[in-house]
Amino acid sequence: MKKTIIYLRTSTEEQNPENQLKDCEELIKKLSIFDYEVIEEKQSAFKDNVKRVRFEEIKKAIQKQQIKNLIVWDLDRLYRNRQKLLDFFNFCKVHNCKIFSVRQEFLNAFDNLNLPQGFEFLAEMYRNNFLHFLGWIAEEESRKKSERVKSAVRKDTGITKSYKGNKWGRKSISSKRLKEKVKELRGQGLSFREILRHEEIYYYDKNKNRKKPSLATIHIYLKD
């Protein structure tokens, strides 16, 4: 890895990181850095059970003191958890890596505070307070987003629907022929898996593709 890394993170496959990259490259120009590497990742920074492979690679390189500058568009690209964000800043400080954020560029001003001798610790204290605050905002944003998604879903007679009344999840396979054939084969003594493998057990999806139903569908048909 190069000594300067631009880390771009988006949380879904649909998001486009190009705007992040453009802003990060503008910041790099201000810092008079011309040699850098861009590392992109599409993964959540909020869920504990999700591993960010490229970010872990960056952390290992920082630990080996191979990275001197880490550039991000926003600090929430690193973590959406305030304690983890603060711990990461301390981790980078120990290993001589500076973090620069486009949207929180004002944090760099703490490095240039003209404090009286013996009061230099105040700069780090002020920065940590700001990091706590910024981490709290990121946490709240993620929590509210999750709540909005949950509130848009309601249960109606056991069926999960959106607030507009549309069903969520995979649509059930509706075929009178298929259901009757399943029951006929079951009556002949075939097991569920034998029924599923039978050449006449199939259906067509909306794109006219021939498909096999799931084993769960066979169970449902035989319960009716």
Find how far residue 37's CA is from the centre of its chain.
Answer: 22
Which pLDDT score, from 0 to 100, does residue 35 have? 94
Give CA–CA dist 35/6, Å, rounded: 11
Which pLDDT score, from 0 to 100, does residue 2 have? 92
Give CA–CA dist 156/154, Å, rounded: 6
Residue 160 lies in a domain: yes
77 and 185 assigned to the same domain: no
Domain containing 97 equals 4-107+125-139
134 and 168 assigned to the same domain: no
Which pLDDT score, from 0 to 100, does residue 73 have? 92
Residue 193 lies in a domain: yes
Give CA–CA dist 149/133, Å, rounded: 25
Give CA–CA dist 151/164, Å, rounded: 12
The verdict on pTM exceeding 0.85 is: no
29 and 91 assigned to the same domain: yes
Which pLDDT score, from 0 to 100, does residue 63 have? 95
Give CA–CA dist 102/27, Å, rounded: 6
Give the CATH number, domain containing residue 98.
3.40.50.1390
Which pLDDT score, from 0 to 100, does residue 3 have? 95
132 and 207 assigned to the same domain: no
Which pLDDT score, from 0 to 100, does residue 178 have? 86
134 and 189 assigned to the same domain: no
Give CA–CA dist 25/12, Å, rounded: 22
13 and 99 assigned to the same domain: yes
Residue 115 lies in a domain: no
135 and 188 assigned to the same domain: no
Q: What are the average pLDDT values for consecutive 10-residue runs of the chain, which has 224 residues?
A: 92 69 92 92 69 92 96 89 85 92 76 60 64 65 61 57 56 72 89 87 79 82 76
Those residues with Cβ within 8 angstroms of residue 133's Cβ, 6 or more apart along the chain or in another chain: none
Instruction: List the beta bridge partners of residue 205.
Output: none
Which pLDDT score, from 0 to 100, does residue 151 have? 61
Name the H helices within 81-175. 82-94, 121-151
Residue 22 lies in a domain: yes
Which pLDDT score, from 0 to 100, does residue 7 have? 95
Q: How far is CA 178 from CA 149, 190, 197, 198, 204, in A?
A: 35, 15, 13, 11, 11
Residue 187 lies in a domain: yes
Residue 212 lies in a domain: yes
- Quote the number of domains for the chain: 2
